């Protein structure tokens, strides 16, 4: 029985972090699509490939940072704070691309694949940089 107790404790912690991560991912999708002038989710449902690439990159970038937050946090509160930081970093990624491509939303709505790829790739890059910066 002594060998099972640590396993159950670890499983409990895993379950909490995993559940909070899933909630954070859903919250991210809602906040991100409200933040951008175009509705990526609606565009993806209409088979807009550029929107799919942009939104996928944002989700992957967020998940990379979220994974780092889960690995490096010292508590669930700490994890939640870093999840918010990861969300904000993804919003900054969108703003960075918009700075260089002011019509990024119109281009994605027009299903211009290069625009979606640039936004998606920038979101992943920001996620990687964010994750690497979350170490203590």
Structure tokens at 40: 């990526």
Summarised one tens digit per residue, pLDDT across range 22-77 is 999 999 999 999 999 999 999 999 999 999 999 999 999 999 999 999 999 999 99
What pLDDT shows up at residue 10? 75
| 73 Rama sector, left if φ>0, alpha if ψ -120 to 50, beta otherwise | beta
Is the pLDDT at 133 greater than 90? The verdict is yes
What pLDDT shows up at residue 136? 67
Distance CA 14, CA 125 (A): 27
pTM of the complete model: 0.91
Mean pLDDT, rounded, for 19-23: 96
Kindly indicate the confidence band of residue 120, based on its pLDDT and cuts at 50, 70 and 90.
Answer: very high
The percentage of the chain sitting over the pLDDT mark of 90, rounded to a whole number, equals 88
Is the pLDDT at 5 greater than 80? The verdict is no
Indicate the burial class of 19 (C-beta count within 10 angstroms; 0-12, 13-18, 19 or more): exposed
What pLDDT shows up at residue 1? 59
The mean of the pLDDT values for the chain is 94
Give yes or no for a contact between 76 and 19, defined as CB atoms under 8 angstroms apart: no
Which ranges constitute the DSSP H helices of the chain?
4-35, 40-45, 49-72, 76-100, 104-109, 113-133
């Amino acid at each position: 029985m002594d060998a099972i107790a640590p396993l159950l404790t670890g499983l409990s912690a895993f379950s909490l972090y995993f559940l909070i991560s899933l909630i954070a991912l859903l919250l991210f999708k809602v906040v991100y699509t409200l933040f951008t002038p175009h509705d990526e989710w609606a565009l993806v449902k209409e088979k807009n490939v550029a929107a799919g690439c942009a939104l996928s990159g944002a989700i992957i970038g967020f998940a990379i940072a979220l994974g780092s937050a889960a690995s490096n946090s010292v508590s669930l509160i700490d994890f939640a704070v870093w999840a918010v930081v990861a969300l904000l970093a993804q919003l900054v990624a969108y703003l960075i691309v918009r700075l260089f491509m002011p019509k990024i939303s119109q281009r994605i709505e027009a299903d211009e694949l290069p625009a979606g790829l640039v936004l998606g790739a920038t979101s992943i890059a920001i996620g990687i940089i964010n994750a690497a910066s979350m170490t203590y």
